[in-house]
Amino acid sequence: MAGIELHAQPLCCWRDLLPAAVLGMAAFLTQFDVTAVVVAMPAMATELGFGVAAYAWVMDAYSLAFTGGLLAAGALADRYGRRRALLGGNIVFLVGSVACGFATGGPGLWAARAVQGLGAAFVITGGIALLASTYTRPDERARAFALMGVISGTAMALGPTLGGLVSTWIGWRWIFLANIPLCLLAILAVPRLVAESRGPADRPLDWSGVILLTFALGLAIESLLMGRAAPVRVAVGLGASVCLLAMFAMQQRRRPAPMFDPAVFGRPVMIGISSLLIALSIGYWAVLVYLPPFLGAAFGWTGSSVGFALLCATLPMLLLPPYGARLAKHWGWRRLFATAMLVLLAGNLTLMLVASGWLPNTGVLLAAAATAMLLIGLGAVLAHPQLSGAVVALVPPDQTGMASAVTVVMRQAGFALGIATLGASLPYEATAAGYAWPWLLAAVASASGLIAASTLLPDQPQLLS
């Protein structure tokens, strides 16, 4: 009997984790369609005939809609049901995926990507809330969130390789069309395995805040991407974006339950965390978007070759997060995040060296490019998983939900603005040497994160009062 009991316990645990696995599968697609699309974008640009600015909008349309959707998804999920929000978002994501797969031009693809991003916001928000309500015991919840993290990490790490293989073998459209069976499976499985839950029905929905922030980000992105030939347009657009952001901050300050509390995020330590979020979004995530065309220009690689090369930058995000958590305990935050930004800075400077053409031969160039991608992956894995935990540890318990949501918004907004900023620095004829400018900007962002970590963060958590 003892042997039966020992053997039965793991089976019970695995059965208990089925809801987490299903929710993780729904979230898998929203992450996979970020990194997998990165490798296929040169093929999309060639077939649909668009340039650097439009290239960036393939990612930014998704991120901008994701950001705006996140601001509304939490309140709607609490009011109408979190499972309903997840399933509705899954259907919207499915519709967007089909539209992406059949897009005949740039504007149609960007619109479909925005639909995908809006659906993804509700999938992520509903999935996290359902996970928290399904697993109430701390040990169960920890295992469930760890499983979801592994599934998301797999999507992000293997996305470039699988996307490259699909794009090379059967065409880039199948990256989106392959979502159909998994979306349908989620529609069938979630209602059978996950119970509905709701939050406070009176949680306010701040439409004016959603509109202000979305327009501010969209205007900044459009100005950066389309204003390269007219600097005045860039200045005017960015100035208008700053005005809208100021209006958003004032509007939030007047609300009794703000989505974004300026009083919390105006503290020096939170400014430091926010700076790190943005630095990482530019120095790692936005760099991933431009690595495929850079590797094509520098080495002539396309499709699956680029996908396998990007494993140097993405596999650390899957394999090494536990080590970052251990280092956080031994080193403290200031040393951990400063080290992460220093490694990220070294990786981006090495990429700039590769682009400059100063290295003597192809073998050295290849070794330097692989080293650079490995460095930015290591820097990202040291910082990325720990930042959300740092925010939760810093703010009072009654503000952790708001603070966690804001960190996701900052990541997405920083990603979108980073893509636009790096794209704006590229010459019209994007040779390998032209990518030295985006890598320089990524290095500057990494250096800014290093300064913020070294000067604004404490060694150990200090709860804000």
19 falls in which pLDDT band (50, 70, 90)?
A: confident
Question: Where are the domains positioned within the chain?
Answer: 1-205, 207-254, 261-465
Which of 1-5, 123-127, 184-188, 447-451 is least confident? 1-5
Of 106, 96, 105, 107, the residue nearest 66 (C-alpha):
96
pLDDT score of 284: 95
Q: How many angstroms separate the CA atoms of 390 and 456, rounded? A: 13
Does 401 or 116 have the greater pLDDT score?
A: 116
The CATH class of 1-205 is mainly alpha
**Average pLDDT rounded to a whole number, residues 412-434:** 86
**Average pLDDT rounded to a whole number, residues 23-28:** 84
Does 82 or 450 have the greater pLDDT score?
A: 450
Of 199, 237, 197, 198, the residue nearest 217 (C-alpha):
237
Percentage of residues in the chain having pLDDT higher than 70: 90
**Average pLDDT rounded to a whole number, residues 50-57:** 78
Q: How many angstroms separate the CA atoms of 454 and 387, rounded? A: 15
Per-residue pLDDT at 15 exceeds 60? yes
Question: Are the CB atoms for 195 and 183 separated by under 8 Å?
Answer: no
Map residue 185 onto helix, strand or coil. Answer: helix
465 falls in which pLDDT band (50, 70, 90)?
A: very low
pLDDT score of 243: 95
141 falls in which pLDDT band (50, 70, 90)?
A: confident
pLDDT score of 5: 36
Mean predicted lDDT score pLDDT of the chain: 85
Q: How many angstroms separate the CA atoms of 95 and 115, rounded? A: 8
- CB 139: neighbour CB atoms within 10 A? 8
Question: Are the CB atoms for 83 and 126 separated by under 8 Å?
Answer: yes
pLDDT score of 139: 74
pLDDT score of 85: 92
Per-residue pLDDT at 6 exceeds 50? no
Residue range 334-372, pLDDT digits in tens: 999 999 999 999 999 999 999 988 877 888 999 999 999
**Average pLDDT rounded to a whole number, residues 173-198:** 91
Question: Are the CB atoms for 151 and 24 separated by under 8 Å?
Answer: yes
Per-residue pLDDT at 266 exceeds 80? no
CA distances from 20 to 27, 130, 198, 345 (A): 10, 9, 18, 36
Can you identify the CATH homologous superfamily of domain 261-465?
MFS general substrate transporter like domains (1.20.1250.20)
Where does residue 363 rank: exposed (0-12), middle (13-18), buried (19+ CB within 10 A)?
A: exposed
Residue range 212-246, pLDDT digits in tens: 988 999 999 888 877 666 778 888 889 999 999 99
Per-residue pLDDT at 279 exceeds 90? yes
Percentage of residues in the chain having pLDDT higher than 90: 36
**SS3 labels along 202-232:** CCCCCHHHHHHHHHHHHHHHHHHHHCCCCHH
The DSSP letter of residue 141 is H
Task: Write down the pTM of the prediction.
Answer: 0.86
Per-residue pLDDT at 426 exceeds 90? no
1 falls in which pLDDT band (50, 70, 90)?
A: very low
Per-residue pLDDT at 7 exceeds 70? no
**Average pLDDT rounded to a whole number, residues 53-78:** 85
Q: Which residue has the tokens 């003597």?
A: 360
**Average pLDDT rounded to a whole number, residues 85-89:** 94
Residues 6+ apart with CB under 8 A from 105: 48, 49
168 falls in which pLDDT band (50, 70, 90)?
A: confident
Q: Do domains 1-205 and 261-465 have the same CATH topology?
A: yes
pLDDT score of 4: 35
